[in-house]
Chain A
Amino acid sequence: MSHTVSIREVIKKFGDFTAVDKISIEINQGEFFTLLGPSGCGKTTLLRAIAGFNKMDGGEIAFSGSVINNVPAHKRDIGMVFQNYAIFPHMTVKENIAYGLKAKKVPRPEIERRTEEALEMVQIAPLKDRKPSELSGGQQQRVALARAFVIEPRVLLMDEPLSNLDAKLRVQMRTTIKKLQRTLGITTIYVTHDQEEALAVSDRIAVMKDGHIMQVGSPEEVYRRPANRFVAGFIGTSNFIDCEAKTEGSETTLRISSDYGVKVKTKRPIDGPAVIAGRPEQLFFSDGEGIPGEITISTFLGDFVEYEILTESGQTLQLNEYTKDVGSVRPDGQKVHLRFDPKAISLIDPKTEEVISDFGG
């Protein structure tokens, strides 16, 4: 049976540098949970603390309720896939996969059966007698994967497992990983700096920065309803547009330019400068009112066109328009007006950098 994982106020310091600063997360049984953040945010440090390779400087980690701080790494019953695969170079593919089962003293016929099964699942059965040096990166990745899940661990950890693969293989492997995780139902903690990968595979994502958690939520939540300016900028692309905000009663009026303003709902009143975060696909060209500007460059990308627009107030914005929705590509230098759907944007209070939009739910 898979574990729940409780991370409670975990602290990890390297000298004076605090890599993980009092982080708490609850991960559900069978969940695919991703730690996402730029390099140096503490995500790998936290993962290695769960694996037992890093001693913590505070807090505790519990599997299904029992604290494992003092359980040595080799007794934690965790599977781990390393960034550089960490395949044993002196063993064949099959020996690599059987290694953990042998250590657990599983009877020989069962080792044989489970190893074969694992080889089949990651589709490398014909390669079982090869040495790792004879495998491609993608194949090594599959060995690493099979070796980690064949021991039927109660938690599976993955440290940037796809970062050494080329773009196409990466997309392929992340589907493989997601399917495998669904089939096996193992609680999985996945570390990556690639937001697109995180959105693609995860049930829930924790966005991290400087040893802190910025937001925990489903891929849709962190994309549509970022908790703060960092998340809005890190996940996907956001336009940050300056405006003047004034709350009157239950409505807040945002004035973007002299002739363009919208009304939104906020969680708390605000009066003064504010920042609107809007996705490129949530900006539209308008015929009349809107933010005035000029197209500086348009890039045709097949399924959509990406426009870069310089507004009259001197900001550069990005607008995406689906090719199927419009007839032709607008020429560079065209004077345009931009509008957005007030329900789709996030309003950021510049003092706290927090998103204060009321998404109503």
Chain B
Amino acid sequence: MKTKGLDKKPRDIWSLMKIIIFVVILLSIVWPLSTIVFRSVTNKFGEFTFENFGKFFSHQYYFNVLENTMFVAGWTTVISVVLGVWIAYVLSRYDFKCKRILNMLIILSLMSPPFIGAYSWILLFGRSGWVTTAAYNWFGWTLPTIYGKWGIVSVFICKMFPYVYLFTSSALGSIDSSLEEAAENLGASKWRRMLSVTFPVVSPSILAGAVLVFMSAVSDFGTPMLIGENYKVLATLVYEQYMSEIGTSSNFASAVSMIVIALCAILLLAQKWYLNRKNYNMTCMRPPAPVKLSWGKRIVMLLPVLLVVLIALLPQIVVVVTSFKNCNGPYFVEGWSLNSYQMIFTRMVRAIKNTYSFSLIAIVFMVVIGSITAYITVRKRSFTTGVIDILLMIPYVIPGAVMGLALIIAFNRAPFYWAGTAIIMILCYTIRKIPYTVRSASGFLQQMELSVEEASINLGVSPGKTFFKITLPLMLPGVVSGAILSWIETINELSSSIMLYTGKTITMSVAIYNEVARNSFGTAAAMASILTLSAVIMLIVFNKVSKGRVSIV
């Protein structure tokens, strides 16, 4: 054909970006994880063997750990689904004035540092906790112990039911009211409507929330470490094995990591399988209007919700309050002051500085790489971008302890001697938290008609300039909102930090963990309060920027 060759695809800047990002991902995600795979099937001399897995499955101790993990994650998921769906239904279907504040508070309990819950519950219900002591002194009651599996489950629920809540309420808000009206019109009662139409239709969202809860429960490290005492789960096992294997080659820790990864992978595949079977595409013209209730009914409906939200927020309140209390070593004493704050600003400045500088540097990377990735995966879709999209989500679903371990193994040898440096921390934060930025930015891009960019090109502005004049300004609220979520998650990150930190690169979340571990509650509370305050401020900014167009989860 005579025109062949004329319409050859030009090598534009985006093809180059695709290659660069692909290489970065290969280096920072695929390679570290492949080292874990390799380590898990070799011994310390580098010989191929399955003995690591054999050890795991032949010792009752390790098998119990797997069982414990499933127990804790399972119960957490079941109860979180019940609470989350119920609260989402009540808040989205009935008209309450305080809805927005409640929504904000629920998000806040999600955004708390991961182990704050455990720590506060120990303060309240622990062996010498205030409630425990008060109940014994005043009523002579001995409360059930908070340590162990049920303690872990209750802390997890408080922190994780918001996932289910957020997914479910956004789905409930996007059901067209005609659907339920049709069911009503066909003679279905209110309960029947709810069970046979509403919930089945939002079930994929509920499932997505449940999967996220389960995976978070499997990955969380701080809570079982603090409140579990002798109750071990997989995440703590990876950490302990790694710590006890320091100097050796961490083969067994790698094998345990592989088991955790397999668990997450099975879950994600199951979810995908379910979603493929139940994919409801709906065009929502008119979401159902919230029903106004009488005062009596309103209180009956709202009171239990308020109670749950309050319990979920209790840790944050306890932390802030105790941060102003006077301390004498591990004991809180009479009187209030800023002593704890004074202490952290003199003795732990490094942790504070590190937290904010690492997270800000990481955010710069996340914003740059995230915007480009969002653009190429949405607008320049190809096989490569599909792979990039999947690879980028891996660090998000893999537990922090595992990712931390992978990075240490990968970057503690030629040509990268990064172990113990700020570089490895920043790298870890970037790859682990970037999905928030990418998803938010690409969400904005998807809502933006391609023809808007074409209109600009058509009016004589080159594609490159169009990106800066049209695409970027329109995508910016999405990028900023996503970056804020990434940032809040970064400053709270414990599970990977604790694998990677050294004295020089300690961060606030690790410092809090250390302080709690040595019963220095006052300073821990002061630092946690600073983190919480940072999160609150940024969440307010987030609400202003995103205008409800970016989902938290």
Contact = CB atoms under 8 A, between A and B. Distances in A.
B514 to A, nearest CB: 47
Contact of B451 (A52, A86, A90, A103): A86
Contacts of A58: 1, 3
Return the 5 tightest CB-CB contacts between A and B, nearest first.
Answer: A100-B459, A86-B451, A86-B455, A82-B451, A103-B460
A103 B455 contact: no
A137 interface: no
Interface stretch (A68-76, A227-235, A246-254, A345-353): A68-76
Contact of B459 (A59, A60, A84, A151): A151
Query: Which of B3, B458, B474 has the most chain A CB atoms inside 10 A of its CB?
Result: B458
A99 B456 contact: yes
Given A79-B458, A82-B455, 17 more contacts: A53-B454, A69-B7, A73-B457, A74-B461, A74-B462, A78-B458, A80-B454, A80-B455, A82-B454, A86-B455, A88-B470, A89-B452, A89-B474, A90-B474, A103-B459, A103-B461, A151-B459
Interface residues of A, number: 34
Contacts of B473: 90
A314 to B, nearest CB: 39
A79 B455 CA distance: 9
Contacts of A204: none
B186 interface: no
A147 B449 contact: no
Contact of A147 (B457, B459, B466): B459
Interface in A145-197: 147, 151
Contacts of B466: 74
Contact of B458 (A73, A90, A104): A73
Contacts of B457: 52-53, 73-74
Interface of A: 51-53, 55-60, 69-70, 72-80, 82-84, 86-90, 99-100, 103-104, 147, 151
A100 B451 CA distance: 15
Given A58-B3, A69-B3, A86-B449, A77 B455 contact: no
B1 A104 contact: no
B7 A80 contact: no
Interface in B60-94: none
B463 interface: yes
A193 B516 CA distance: 70
B300 interface: no
Interface string B472-497: 01100000000000000000000000
Most buried by A among B1, B454, B473: B454
A74 B449 contact: no
B333 interface: no
B6 interface: yes
Given A60-B3, A69-B6, A84 B458 contact: no
Contacts of B455: 80, 82, 86-88, 147
B456 A88 contact: yes
Nearest to A54: B7
A51 B473 CA distance: 25
Contacts of A55: 7, 9
24 contacts: A51-B454, A53-B454, A55-B9, A57-B7, A69-B7, A70-B7, A72-B462, A73-B454, A73-B463, A74-B458, A74-B462, A74-B463, A75-B460, A77-B460, A82-B455, A86-B455, A88-B456, A88-B470, A103-B459, A103-B460, A103-B461, A104-B460, A151-B459, A151-B460
Interface string B1-39: 101001101000000000000000000000000000000
A72 B449 CA distance: 21
Contacts of A100: 459-461
A56 B458 contact: no
A103 B449 CA distance: 21
A86 B451 CA distance: 6
A335 to B, nearest CB: 44
A205 to B, nearest CB: 24
A77 B455 CA distance: 12
B462 to A, nearest CB: 5
A144 B452 CA distance: 11
Nearest to A99: B459
Contact of A80 (B1, B458, B465): B458
A73 B456 CA distance: 10
B15 to A, nearest CB: 15
A87 B454 CA distance: 11
Contacts of B459: 74, 79, 99-100, 103, 147, 151
Contacts of A76: 458
Contacts of B456: 88, 99
A161 to B, nearest CB: 12
B356 to A, nearest CB: 31
